[in-house]
Structure 1
């Protein structure tokens, strides 16, 4: 049994990771400032003696003895990270420094939950890990995109300078139960709008594509990445290489929900990428990992979650 720290552990991905780690018999310390995370996501773990909740902001240092760190702290949806872009940058950069310093002090292996946003609006498709990206450094998304890029820089500088054991995973679009209903991301938007009978909001022409990875598959990838040999740092893309257009996704959600909502088209937001799809060759080779849950199956589970949540609300 290891003692593991999960920052952002009450968020969408973090709570699923805490579930899995506790289920594997590890002692998990969940750290979250509840800016976008929720006690509801981890409340079921509270009675478990292997789970510990700590309310804290990672931009401030703290002391704890742990064997490993998963650094997931940061708002991930544009509507959330653009609300306070300065704090978003602080979380990405100062949070990374504080967690890296902690890992160095206690000799812990540390994983950074990076993002496909480091590739920006790509001119290479699909995106391999050796592509440096096409990112606007001064746009409304830059606090997140460049913050995550800077965090990767810090991780590799700590690896080179103090020989810290690091793992960097670049997470592509992930969906599933516990997504925030008002996070503004396309899967949660479409499902909530379809259940409520509201028009499904499509930005641009709806021909832009995304690839959608179910949360259980993503957590499998993070665990596999953390378990690799010490000399394997990544970065590694984690995501589903099967693309869907926004119109295809909308039609599938409508069919699953059984909704007659219409599609409503609006202008494309600034710096919104036209295509986003991972090249997962490295993950297949080095992690023996690839997604298993199909989009329709994953959406059915996600729709069931949102039906229950909206009914309770």
Structure 2
């Protein structure tokens, strides 16, 4: 059993990582400022292992990390809703970049055995077909830029501190405990009111959706896949769906016809048309493949 720290552990993805680590026998601690994270996501965790700290607070973070003395660290604390990042670039930089450096400074004073850094598919430039880890990092938005910078910081940390670092480029997580108004929770929210005419934004983009429970398993597996230096793994499903295809799945689940109306106020001015994860590298390194398909996830969400 190891002592593990999850930053952003009360959030959408982070709380599922907490669940997976607890299930595999680790002593888990969470650092979160509860800006988006929710305490109810951590109902199974003892209160003394939940620490309310903002990663922008360099001194407070350093004290808490030293107190916890983790062996494994999973860094998921970030602002990751792209429209919010675009509207608040300075805040995004302070949390996603400066916050990451604050954590690395704390870990330099309190060495760990390994570090996982949650990055994003948004570091990739637009492309048709599968994104591979060897593709260039050329982000097209503020969020992707902050995560690309974070990748550079943790790679440097791996080199100087001689701590194994895994970078997970996460594709579109879906499932329970969502904390941001992404596409799927917006669809589920509107359908839950009884509406059968959906008002949505961009309809053409195709996305690679992966259930957060599968993603959490992948994160924990990937974190153990590197024994020295740093490496990068895509974490997705290697399947993609358009908005219309997502709605068609909802129609099958509900057994009802759903109409879609494009709402100009919801349309993003800058939007990539395709995201698709190549996951061969991750599967070869860990044996992980996704087990929960999108229809099962939507069925659970719509029946909740």
Match in the other structure for 2:105: 101
Shift of 1:273: 1.1
Are positions 1:111 and 2:116 aligned together?
yes
Q: Which runs of 4+ in 1 moved over 4 A?
A: 258-261
Q: How far apart, in 2, do the equivalents of 1:245 and 1:115 lie?
A: 19
Which residue is equivalent to 2:23? 23
Supply the distance in 2 between the matched residues of 1:178 and 1:212 (Cα, whole angstroms). Answer: 15
Alpha-carbon distance in structure 1 between the residues aligned to 2:107 and 2:222: 17
> Is this contact kept in 1: 2:32–2:53, CA < 8 A?
yes
CA contact under 8 A between 1:36 and 1:80: conserved in structure 2? no
How does 1:125-144 map onto structure 2 within 5 Å? 125-136=129-140, 141-142=141-142, 144=143
2:46 and 2:299 map into 1 onto residues whose CA distance is 28
- Residue 49 of structure 2 aligns to a residue whose secondary structure is strand
How many pairs are equivalent? 293
Name the SS for the 1:235 alignment partner: strand
**Cα displacement (A) at 1:82:** 4.3
- Preserved CA contact (<8 Å) 1:8 1:72: yes
Q: Classify the secondary structure of the residue corresponding to 2:231.
A: coil
Kindly state the Cα deviation for residue 161 of structure 1 after the two structures are TM-superposed.
Answer: 3.0
Matched, 1:60 2:65: no
**CA distance in 1 between partners of 2:46 and 2:254 (Å):** 33
Query: How far does residue 243 in structure 1 lie from its aligned partner after superposition?
Result: 1.3
Partner Cα separation in structure 2 for residue 133 and residue 200 of structure 1: 35
**How many angstroms does 1:86 deviate by?**
1.6
1:215 is matched with: 212
CA drift at 1:40: 1.6
Give the equivalent residue in structure 2 for 1:310.
none
Q: Contact 1:79–1:184 at 8 Å: present in 2 too?
A: no
Rounded to whole Å, the distance in 2 between the matches of 1:153 and 1:53 is 29
TM-score by length of 1: 0.87
The residue aligned with 2:259 is 262
- Stretches of structure 1 that go unaligned for 5 or more consecutive residues are 308-313
Q: Deviations over 1:52-74 (max 9, x none)?
A: 10001112222321111100001
Q: CA deviation at 1:103?
A: 2.4
- Structure 1 residue 235 displacement after superposition: 0.9
Q: RMSD of aligned C-alpha atoms?
A: 1.9
